[in-house]
Every structure is written in C-alpha cells, then in structure tokens.
Structure 1
Amino acid sequence: MELWIAKIKATSEQPIQELVSPLIFNEESNCYIASEYEGTIVVKTSNHKVQKVFLSHYGVTSNEQRIPLIYDEQWNVWYDKGDEFEERSPIGINQCGTFFFEAEDGDGYIIDRSADVFITSSLLTEEEFQQMKDEIVSMLEDLFTANKGPATPMNLWKENVEVARYALDQMKKLHEMLLELEEAPHEQLIREHHLLPSSKIKRFNAEFLINRKLFPFKDKFLIPVNVRSIDIPEHRMIRWGLERLIDYADRYLRQARNRKRELYQRRDFLIHALSNQYDHRLRLFEQERIENSIKKDLDYVSESLQLVCKSERYWKEIGEIAKKCLSLHYLNVGEEELEQTHLFTFSPLYSEVYQYLDDLLNLKPLKQLSNTYVPLQKSPKLYEVWCLLSIIHSLIYECGFISAQNPYIQIQRYLQRKGGLEGIAFTFNRPVYRYKEYQEPQKTNLTLEVHYERPFLDTEKSYRPDFTFTFRDDFRAETVFLDAKYKPLPNREYWAEIIRDVSFEKYYEPLTKKPIASFLMHPNKLNDVSVHTWNATMNHRKQEELRHRLGSFEYKPSNKKEFVKWMNMLLHYHLGYNGVCMHCGAHLSAQFDYGERGQKYFTCRNPYCEAFWVETICFNRRGGRWAQKDAHAPSTATLFKYTKHSGMNYHKETTDEWDVFCPVCNKRAQDRFRDDV
C-alpha cells in the first residue's frame, strides 16, 4: 500500500488533478507525516484482491464510522472526496491528527493496512496546536467559576497556585499511604495452569488421571493451581487515577511554562521600552505618565511571574510523585476507572487511598474534560471552538465584562439539548464611561450579547457569521461581526480578497443597517508587513465610511491580546466610551485631563494599572487650521493614541512615540505643514 499527496478539486467530474509526490515514511516517528493544506492523501494498492479502501482512526467503534474511499481509474488511486453537506474537506486539507487506511477484499476481510499517518498543522506550531487543545479544557475550568466580576488573570493564577499547593500536600500524603500499602498489598486467589512433575501434584483431578493413563511415560502435567495475585480491581483503579493525575499535572505544567515564556518576553520588552522611552518631542507630563505606565506594567509582570513559577514548581513535583507511585510493584497492572468498591469502603488503608485520589481528581470539577482530545480533528472547527471559548474568557477575565449566567453551565446545558454549540448566545454587562466637553463622565451600563453561528436574514441571502456581537446601552444598539478564518494568508492579494468577499460583501454592503465593524481573525500573520490589517478599505471613495470597519487580526494561543485591542477599538473609537480602560478591565472611570492643544488625556484609576492614552483630532479636517485638499469631516477625525509599549494601537503607528496615521486621510501630525498633497 503506497500513500501519495495529490491535488484535488472536489467539485470536478475528475477530482484528482495531479499526483504530487509519495508520502515519506518517518522512521523516527514510525509513521507518515504530512502537513494540512499540502493536498489530499490518496492510496495506491497493487493487491488485485482489494475491493474497498477505508479511512479509519483510533477511537472508531464500528465499521460504519469509517470513511469509504472512491476509486479513480485514471490515476489508479483511492481517494476521499469530502462531504459538502457535512462541510468536510477531503482528508489532509484541514484536519490534524492521526489516522490510517484499511483495505478489504470482496468478503469484507481486512487484507492490508497502512502505517499511521500524522497530519500536523500548517498554521500553528505543534506546541501551539497542543496549547490550543489544552486551553479548551482549562478555559472551561475557569468559566465554571466565572460567576462574579470583575475577574482578572492575576486572580486566576493565584487560585491556580492555591490549588497546586493543596494538591501537592495531598499528593505527598497519598504517596505515604501507597508506600504503606506496598508492605502488604491486598491479593486475590486466581486460577492458573502450571506444568508440574507428577511427584509434586498433591490433589488429583479427572483430567490429570486421564492424561497420566494416556501418557504413562510423561512426567509433567498441566495442573490448575490457585496462586496469589496483586492484579485486583482496586490496584487497577489506583493506577488509573495516578495516570489521570499525571495528565492533569502535565497540562497545568505546559500552561505555566507557556505563560512564563510570554511573561519573560513581555518583561524584556518593557525593560527595553523603559530605557528608551525618553523623547524630546514629548511633554514632561506625557513622559511621566508613560514612564509610570511602563513601571506598573513591569510590576504586574513581575508579580505574575512569581505566581506562574510557583505553579510550575508545584505541578512538576506533583507529576514526579505520581510517577514514583506508579513504580510500586503492586501497581504494575492495567487500568480501570476509579469507583467505590467493598475494599475501598471497609479497608482503612484502601479507604484513605481512595479518598485522597478522589479528592485530587475532583480539585477541578471537570475531570471528564480530559476526553476533549480525539485522534482526528477538523482544524477549522477546533479553531472556531477555541476562538469562542477564548473570546468569552477574555471578555470576563481581561475586558471586565460580567456574565449574566454561568458560561460553563450554559455550554453544558446547550450541548445536552442541541449536541453542538452552533446558535449558543452569551450575555454580559459592564459599566462604561464617556467624557465629552466637561469633566464629569457619563456613566452607562453596557450590555453585550455574543452569538455563535447565528444566521441573519437582513439580505437576499441567509448568512451565518461565526460571531455576532450586539452592544446595547440606553440610547442605541450596534452590531459587530467577526469571522474565524483558519486558512493560510500567502500574500496581500489573497488577504484583500477574503476581506472583500467576507467582511464587505457578506457582512457589510448588503445590510440596510450597517455594522460598526466586520472583521476576520486568523491564526497567522500576513507575511506582507506593509499591509495595515486593522484598516482595510475597498476603494478610496469609501475610505472615510469604512475607517476601521473592515480588517483582520492575528489570533492564536501565543497571541490573544489582539482581541482585547479589537474590543478597545470598538469601545473607544466606534462607540465613544473613551473613559474605559481595556488594559486591565477595571470598572473605574479613567482620570481625565485636558492638554495644552485640546488633547484629552486619560489615565486608568486602577493603582495596579494606570495605563495612559490620548484622544485627539486629525489636523486634516474641514474647517481646521491646517486642512489640506483632501480634508475630511470633523466627525471622522477623532484619533486615539496609546503608548507603544501597551500594544493597543489599532491606528497605524509612526516612528514617533506619540503619533499615528489617520485611518481616513493616512496623514500624520508632521504632515500638517505640507500643502502639496
């Protein structure tokens, strides 16, 4: 059986377009390795008895769940065409995981089988793909307790450390109990057949007597013997529990190490920013506020690092102790899921072991979520689900929104009723603030509804964006669309094409009431760094109308801050709530000061944050002192500027610390003296 990568056009009468290359077997991994989007994987077989070929994977429980392949006479290969009704692409296009092929003869017997095929993500590293799967579980765990607010990532890590410290203490006690059990583990008598000399056989049975009569010259006979065995259900259950604890510890350990790496990178960036932030063009007031903001950021990173390092140390030790326990001789058995038994109830030692194990496995109330991983997963769907949970998680723990209902309970009940998450909606609230021309802020309660795959019928066609956001306050309701695109972005032209086809032509142009934004999120950056993906326009005539209404941002496990930046843009730039801090999600109104030239300075009142930003106006506005030939309306001239270290600038930055390009006329402050444009 040979495996090939082929180009396929599923809608064509002859889907196989070309056989690109044979799939190379990786001796070190003992499997074939391919990358998604390289092409579909097809099977060549020289065995003339083969009548059917199936794609299968681990975890399949019946033959009906295997995918039957189609035979192509022209290329002499078996291929998978996908399923347009189930929106399933041909195998190898957008799936990650492990599978294999099986060939059957006319009688349904398997006569050939391929080695395993492992498809890796082409858009995420192997580490990031694993992190995405880990986070689906860990975010659900966090959402289980997300019924109060405002919540913060710092509180999450404090809770993580407390749980880890308690788990380590319990793990040490469990280890002591298991060592004590090793001295006299419970045993049971089992029946085995041993080959014994006839002189040592004490009890005769009919079988022995018959065999001795039939074989008088034979000296040894197979005799059933009762022997003591440590392979009892309770030992298998203990092993199962320890294996699960190792899985949990490994997951939390990976989580801590990923976060630690991010924090070290952030710390190095902030230290560099602090040593290079002095700019003679900045006013003293601005320099002081920026320096203070960076120092607060550094304090936050340092405190976070201490917590994350503690968490890492605790979970590492928990895993090591669990592995020591597994080396005990009486646990060298199979696995069986933990449950209460007679021995666990009435034996003092075994009862204590059970209590410690059960307690440890229920520290997080979602132990069943370890089954989230499946051998073969559709990458775009996995990415969508991760995006949904990550959006909900970020709204609660970073943006200061409070959920109207417990998100985990909502997800659990919706899955029970619908069998999937399509159509689920979440409601959030938070106070927001708007400063106008006077000092006192207008406080408003903002309600946000987030819908996943909700169809809307405001156009001739029915569309179903991945995420629909509806913002409501006392005066208005505004809609925002966000689509997750798990696709490569090879160049500027392709990026512009999907922005036009999806963000503009689907979710903006046909609608009578326009959304305030229609964006895409994708797991990899556009290679062309000259493109400012936060401000896409279809043509120059619509540039004023479409300012920051169309665009995209990178979103993946190692870069989730872009969503917070996007929310910051929606609240500040589009909804006008300029007194809200999205750096920390605090519910306090920002401190407001006027600058010498009419700028509005804002400083977060949270003493642990004190982020700093400025609201100003583009000089190139009609009626302005420096208006140029392409001046635009004052209503579209508002600009927000954030310190470079914050990473919050959605306006295109200039080389100056405190300047940006206007999203309408593409001019910066230093262009105001030019009259040749």
Structure 2
Amino acid sequence: MELWIAKIKSTSERPIQKLISPLIFNEESNCYIASEYEGTIVVKTSNNKVQKVFLSHYGITSSEQRIPLIYDEQWDVWYDKGDELEERSPIGINQCGTFFFEAEDGDGYIIDRSSDVYITSSLLTEEEFQQMKDEIVNMLEDLLTANEGPATPMRLWRENVEAAQYALEQTKKLHEVLLELEDAPHEQLIREQQLVPSSKIKRFDAEFLINRKLFPFKDKFSIPVNVRSIDIPEHRMIRWGLERLIDYADRYLRQARNRKRDLCQRRDFLIYALSSEKDQRLEVWEQKRIKNSIKKDLVHVSEFLRLVCESERYWEEIVDMAKKCLNLHYLNVGEEELAQTHLFTFSPLYSEAYQYLDDLLNLKPLKQLSNTYAPLQKSPKLYEVWCLLSIIHSLIYECGFIPVQNPYTQIQRRLQRKRGLEGISFTFHRPVYRYENSYELQEMDLTLEVYYERPFLDTEKSYRPDFTFIFRDSFRTETAFLDAKYKPLPNREYWAEIVRDVSFEKYYKPLPKKPIASFLMHPNKLKDVSIHTWNAAINHRKQEELRHRLGSFDYKPSNKKGFVKWMNMLLHYHLGYNGVCMHCGAHFPAKCEYDVKQKKKKYFTCSNPECEAFWVESFCFNRKGGNYAKKDAHEPSTATLFKYTKHSEMNYHKETPDEWDVFCPVCNKRAQDRFRNDV
C-alpha cells in the first residue's frame, strides 16, 4: 500500500488533478508525516483482491464510522472527496491528527493496512497547536467561576497560585503516606504456574501424576502455586490517580511557561519604551502622562510575571513529587480508574491515600468536556471553538463584561444534550461612559449578546457568520460580525479577495441595516507587512462609509491582543463610548481633559490607579469646514480619530513614526500633511 499527496478539486468531474509526490515514511516517529493544506492523501494498492479502501482512526466503535474512499481509474488511486453536507474537506486539507487506511477484499476481510499517518498543522507550530487544545480546557475551568465582575487575569492567576500551593501541600502529604505503605504494602494471593522440584510438591493432582509417569527423568514440574502479589486494584488506582495528577499539573505548567514567555517579552518591550527618547513635539504634561502610563503597565506586568513564576515553580514541584511516588516499587503496576473500595474505606493508610488523591483530582469540580481524545480533528472547527471560548474569556477577564448566566453552565447543558455549540449565545452587560462636546459624562448600561453561528434571514441568501455581536444601550442597537478563517494568507491579493468575498459581500452589502464592523480573524499575520489589515480599502469610492468596518486581525494562542483591540475600536470609534478603558476593563469612567489651544482634542486617563492608561480623541485636519481642508476633504462626522500610546499596542489607525500621529482611515493623511500642497 503506497500513500501519495495529490492535488484535488472536489467540484470537478474528475477530482484528482495530479499526484504531487509519495508520502515519506518517518522511521523515527514510525509513521507517515504530512502537513495540512499540502494536498489530499490518496492510496495506491498493488493487491488485485482489494475491493474497498477505508480511512479509519483509533477509537472508532463501528465500521460505519470509517470513511469509504472512491477509486479513480485514471490515476489508479483511492481518494476521499470530502462531504459538502458535513462541510468536510478531503482528508489532509484541514484536519490534524492520526489516522490510517484499511483495504478489504470482496468478502469484507481486511487484507491490507497502512502505517499511521500523522497530519500536523501548517498554520500553527506544534507548541501552539498543543497550547490551543490546552487553553480550551483552561478557559472552561476559568468560565466555571465567572459569575461576578469585573474579573481580571491577575485575579485568575492569584487563584491559580493558591490552588497550586494547596495541591503541592496535598501531594507532599500523599507522598508521606505512600512512603509509609512501601514498608508493608497490601498484597493478595494469586495462582500462577511455577517449576517446582518433585520432592517439594506436597499435593498431587491428576495432571502432576500423569506428567511424572510420562517424564520420569524430569526433576521439576509446572504446577499452580499460591504467591503473594502487590498487583492489587488499589495500587493500580493510586497509579492511575498519580498519572492523572501529572497530566493535570503538566497542563498548568505549559500554561505558566507560555504566559511567562509572553510577559517577559512584554516587560522587555516596556523597559525599552521607558528608556527611549520621547517625541519632543509633545507637551511636557503629555510626556509625563505617557511615561506614567508605561510605568504603571510595567508594574502590572512585573507583578503578573511574579505570580506566573510562582505558579510555575509549584506545578514543577508537584510533577516531580508525583513522579517520585510512581517510582515506589509497589506502584510498578497497571492502571485502573480511581474508585472507593473496601481497602480504601477501612485501612487507615490506604484511606488517607485515597482522600488525598480524590481531593487533588477534584480541585475544581470540572468534568473536562474538552479533554476528550479526538484522533482526527478538523482544524478549522477546533480553531473556531477555541476562538469562541477565547472571545468569551477575553470579554469577561479583560474587557470588564459581566455574564448574565454562567457561560460554563450554558456550554455544559448544551453538550449534555448531545448538541453542538452551533447557535449558542451568551449575554453580558457592563457600564459604559461617553463624553460629548460639553465634556459632561454620560453613563449607560451596555448589553452585549454574542452568538456562535447564528444565521440572519433578512437577506436574499441566509448567511451564518461565526460570531455575531449585538450591542444595546438605552438609545440604539448595533451589530458587528467576526468570522474565523483558518487559512493561509500568502499575499495581498488573496487577503483582499477573502475580505471582499466574506466581510463585504456576505456580511455587509446584503444587509439593509449595516453592521458597524465585519472583520475576519486568522491564525497568522499577513506575510505582506506593508498592509494595514485593520482598514480594508477594497472600495475607494466607499472608503468614507467603510472606514474600519472591514478588515482582519491575527489571533492565536500566542497572540490574543487583536480581539481586545477590536473591542476597543468598536466601543471607542464606532459606538462613541470614549470614556471606557479597554486596557484594564475597569468599570471606572476615565478622566477627560481637553486642550485649551485645540479644543477639538480630548485627553483621557483611566481612573483605575493600577492602570492609568492614556489616550487622545482628535480630528483629521482634512475635514470639510476645517482650516486645512484639502480637495478630498470628508465630512466632520467621519473625521474622528483615536490615538493610543504606542506601548499599549491598541492603535487600530495606522501609526506614523510620531507618538501621537496616525493616518486617517478615510483620506489616509496624517497631521504633518496639513502644510503640504501636493496632497
């Protein structure tokens, strides 16, 4: 059985376009290794008895779950065409995981089987793909306790440190108990065959008498003997519990190390920003505010990093301690799931061991819904689910939104009914603030509904964005869309095409009431770094209308800043809640000051003493009626600009080299251009 990578076009009458190359077997991993999006994987068989070929994977419970392949006479290969109804691409295009092929003869007997095929992610590193799967579990655990707000990541990590410290104490106590048991572990008598000298055999049975008659020259005979064995259910259960504890701690350890890496990079960036020379054209008080904002950010990151390092140290110790326990001689047995037994109930030491293990494995009352082994994962679907949970998590723990119902409970109920998450919705609220021209503070309560794969029917075709956001306050209702695209973005043309076809043609143009934004999120940055993806200029005639309404941002486990920046853009730029701080998600209204010389400028400082982020609301000079208006001047209503300190990484307007300057999303001019005659 040979495996090949082939180019396939599912919609064609002859789907296989060409065979690209044979799949190479990796001796070290003992399997074939391929990367998604290289092409589909097809099978060549030399056995003329083969009548059917199936794609199979581990964990299948019935033959009906295997995928039957189609035979192509022209290329003499068996291939998978995918399934349009199930939105499943041909195998190898967008799935990650392990599978194999089985060939059957006319009677249904398996007469050939391939070695395992392992498909890796082409858009994420192996570490990032593992992090994505880990985070699904971690975020579910966090959402379990997300009942009050505003919540913060710092509070989550403080709880993590407390849980790790408690777990380490319990693990140490468990280790002491297991050491005591090593002196005299419980045993049981088992029957096994042993060679015993005939002179020492006390009891004769028929088999022994017959063998001695047949083999009179033999001195030893195999007879059943009662022997003591430490391989008892309780020891297997203790081993199982320790293995699960290591899995649990390893996941938290990976989480801590990933966060530590990100925080170290952030800390180094802030130290550099603090030591860099400031723009001398800024007012002195502006420079002081910016410097203070960076300092506060640095203090926050440093404290955050301290907590993460503490958590890392505790989980490392737990793993080491659990492995020491596994090295005890009486635990060199198989595994069996932990359960209450007679010995665990009535033996003081075994009872203690059981209680410590049970306590450790239930630090959080979570049935790990997302930790189920999935041999063949559809990468885009996994990315979508991760995006959904990450969006909900960020809204609660970074943007200050409070859920009306517990999100974990909603997810759990839906999955218990054996339904997918499609159509699920979550409702949040939070106070928002707006400073109008009078600089008087207006406070409102904002309600946000988030839907996953909710169709809208008020158009000629029914479309279903991945994520729909509906914002409601006392005066209006606005909608925004996000679509997760787990696809490579090789160049500017492909990016512009997908934004036009999806964001504009599907989720903007057909709607009678336009959304305030229709964006895409994708795992990797666009390779062409010259493109500002936050403002897609796909139709210059409508650029004034489409400013920051179409675009995309990269989003993956190692870079989740994009969503918070997107929410900041929606609240500040499109909805006008300019007094809300999305840097920390605090519920305090920001302080607002204005420039006496240029009364069009508003300066905002977050009221949270632990944050004090700083941003500016101003106007593009190239507006109708302005002193510096050019021929292509646009309406004052579309001239509002928000500028954020560069260290905050919150600028969705395209930045210039100057601290406060940005390019206008309508006319693409910056403040320096107002004195130029050639624009």
Identify the TM-score tier after normalising by the shorter chain: over 0.9
Offset of residue 372 of structure 1: 3.2
Q: Which amino acid aligns with 2:152?
A: T
TM-score (norm 2): 0.98
Offset of residue 431 of structure 1: 0.2
CA contact (8 A) 1:235 1:330 kept: yes
Q: Which amino acid aligns with 1:657?
A: E
What's 1:538 paired with?
Answer: 538
> Which consecutive unaligned segments of at least 5 residues does structure 2 have?
none
Secondary structure of the equivalent of 2:521?
A: strand
Following superposition of structure 1 onto structure 2, how do residues 582-601 of structure 1 map, counting pairs within 5 Å? 582-595=582-595, 596-598=597-599, 599-601=601-603
CA contact (8 A) 1:277 1:291 kept: no
Q: Distance in 2 between matches of 1:562 and 1:84?
A: 32
Q: Distance in 2 between matches of 1:373 and 1:394?
A: 26
Offset of residue 60 of structure 1: 1.7
1:38 matched to 2:34: no
What's 2:636 paired with?
Answer: 634
What's 2:81 paired with?
Answer: 81
Q: Distance in 1 between matches of 2:211 and 2:373?
A: 54
What's 1:491 paired with?
Answer: 491
Secondary structure of the equivalent of 2:82?
A: coil
Q: Distance in 2 between matches of 1:641 and 1:191?
A: 80
Q: Distance in 2 between matches of 1:68 and 1:108?
A: 13
Call closer, same or farther: CA 1:103–1:591 in 2, change over 3 Å: same
Offset of residue 226 of structure 1: 1.1
Secondary structure of the equivalent of 1:545?
A: helix
Offset of residue 491 of structure 1: 0.6
Q: Distance in 2 between matches of 1:536 and 1:370?
A: 36
Deviation per residue, 1:115-151 (Å, 9 max, x gap): 2211111111111000000000000000000000000
Secondary structure of the equivalent of 1:43?
A: strand
CA contact (8 A) 2:100 2:115 kept: yes
What's 1:291 paired with?
Answer: 291
Following superposition of structure 1 onto structure 2, how do residues 233-244 of structure 1 map, counting pairs within 5 Å? 233-244=233-244
Following superposition of structure 1 onto structure 2, how do residues 99-138 of structure 1 map, counting pairs within 5 Å? 99-138=99-138
Q: Which amino acid aligns with 1:410?
A: Q
> Which consecutive unaligned segments of at least 5 residues does structure 1 have?
none
Mean Cα displacement is larger for which, 276-285 or 134-143? Answer: 276-285
Deviation per residue, 1:430-482 (Å, 9 max, x gap): 00000012233100000000000011101011111000000000000001011
1:621 matched to 2:616: no
What's 1:608 paired with?
Answer: 610
Offset of residue 158 of structure 1: 0.4
Aligned sequence identity (%): 85
CA contact (8 A) 1:467 1:481 kept: yes
Offset of residue 277 of structure 1: 4.3
Offset of residue 172 of structure 1: 0.5
CA contact (8 A) 2:4 2:43 kept: yes
What's 2:503 paired with?
Answer: 503
Offset of residue 364 of structure 1: 2.1
Mean Cα displacement is larger for which, 498-507 or 200-209? Answer: 200-209
Query: How well do the aligned residues superpose, as a CA RMSD in angstroms?
Result: 1.2
Following superposition of structure 1 onto structure 2, how do residues 383-532 of structure 1 map, counting pairs within 5 Å? 383-532=383-532
Deviation per residue, 1:36-63 (Å, 9 max, x gap): 0000011112122222222122222222
Secondary structure of the equivalent of 2:417?
A: helix
Q: Distance in 2 between matches of 1:441 and 1:65?
A: 61
Q: Distance in 2 between matches of 1:407 and 1:122?
A: 31
Q: Distance in 2 between matches of 1:397 and 1:137?
A: 16
CA contact (8 A) 1:8 1:17 kept: yes
What's 2:254 paired with?
Answer: 254
Secondary structure of the equivalent of 1:253?
A: helix
Offset of residue 81 of structure 1: 1.2
Offset of residue 369 of structure 1: 4.0
1:5 matched to 2:5: yes
What's 1:547 paired with?
Answer: 547
Offset of residue 111 of structure 1: 2.4
Q: Which amino acid aligns with 2:555?
A: Y
Following superposition of structure 1 onto structure 2, how do residues 20-31 of structure 1 map, counting pairs within 5 Å? 20-31=20-31
What's 1:565 paired with?
Answer: 565
1:270 matched to 2:266: no
Q: Distance in 1 between matches of 2:367 and 2:218?
A: 57
Secondary structure of the equivalent of 1:10?
A: coil
Mean Cα displacement is larger for which, 96-105 or 522-531? Answer: 96-105
Q: Which amino acid aligns with 2:618?
A: T
What's 1:58 paired with?
Answer: 58
Offset of residue 243 of structure 1: 0.5
Offset of residue 490 of structure 1: 0.6
Secondary structure of the equivalent of 2:463?
A: coil
Q: Which amino acid aligns with 1:317?
A: E
Offset of residue 370 of structure 1: 6.7
Mean Cα displacement is larger for which, 666-675 or 607-616? Answer: 666-675
Call closer, same or farther: CA 1:59–1:592 in 2, change over 3 Å: same
Q: Distance in 2 between matches of 1:48 and 1:332?
A: 48
Deviation per residue, 1:52-78 (Å, 9 max, x gap): 222122222222222121221211111
What's 2:94 paired with?
Answer: 94
Q: Distance in 1 between matches of 2:110 and 2:544?
A: 64
CA contact (8 A) 1:133 1:373 kept: no
Secondary structure of the equivalent of 2:96?
A: strand
Mean Cα displacement is larger for which, 44-53 or 323-332? Answer: 44-53
Deviation per residue, 1:160-216 (Å, 9 max, x gap): 000000000000000011111111111111111122232221111222223333444
What's 1:378 paired with?
Answer: 378
CA contact (8 A) 2:137 2:371 kept: no
Q: Distance in 2 between matches of 1:69 and 1:393?
A: 40
Q: Distance in 2 between matches of 1:342 and 1:336?
A: 16
Offset of residue 114 of structure 1: 1.7
Deviation per residue, 1:377-420 (Å, 9 max, x gap): 00000000000000000000000000001110010011223521
Aligned residues: 677
1:164 matched to 2:164: yes
Mean Cα displacement is larger for which, 211-220 or 90-99? Answer: 211-220
Secondary structure of the equivalent of 1:189?
A: strand
CA contact (8 A) 2:137 2:368 kept: no
- Which of the residues 640, 645, 648 maps onto 2:647? 645
Q: Distance in 1 between matches of 2:333 and 2:562?
A: 48
Q: Distance in 1 between matches of 2:92 and 2:365?
A: 36
TM-score (norm 1): 0.98
Deviation per residue, 1:494-521 (Å, 9 max, x gap): 1111111110011110110111110000
Following superposition of structure 1 onto structure 2, how do residues 307-326 of structure 1 map, counting pairs within 5 Å? 307-326=307-326
Deviation per residue, 1:540-599 (Å, 9 max, x gap): 110000000000000000110110000000000000000000000000000010013121
Q: Distance in 1 between matches of 2:647 and 2:371?
A: 40
Q: Distance in 2 between matches of 1:79 and 1:180?
A: 59
1:193 matched to 2:193: yes
What's 1:175 paired with?
Answer: 175
Q: Distance in 2 between matches of 1:264 and 1:526?
A: 25
CA contact (8 A) 2:193 2:222 kept: yes
Offset of residue 486 of structure 1: 0.3
What's 1:670 paired with?
Answer: 672
Offset of residue 674 of structure 1: 2.1
Secondary structure of the equivalent of 1:481?
A: strand
Secondary structure of the equivalent of 1:176?
A: helix
Q: Distance in 1 between matches of 2:63 and 2:228?
A: 40
Q: Distance in 1 between matches of 2:523 and 2:373?
A: 20
Q: Distance in 1 between matches of 2:330 and 2:65?
A: 38
CA contact (8 A) 1:51 1:105 kept: yes
Q: Distance in 2 between matches of 1:255 and 1:288?
A: 36
What's 1:328 paired with?
Answer: 328
Offset of residue 279 of structure 1: 1.3
Secondary structure of the equivalent of 1:513?
A: coil
CA contact (8 A) 1:361 1:367 kept: no
Mean Cα displacement is larger for which, 657-666 or 415-424? Answer: 415-424
Offset of residue 367 of structure 1: 4.7
CA contact (8 A) 1:446 1:473 kept: yes
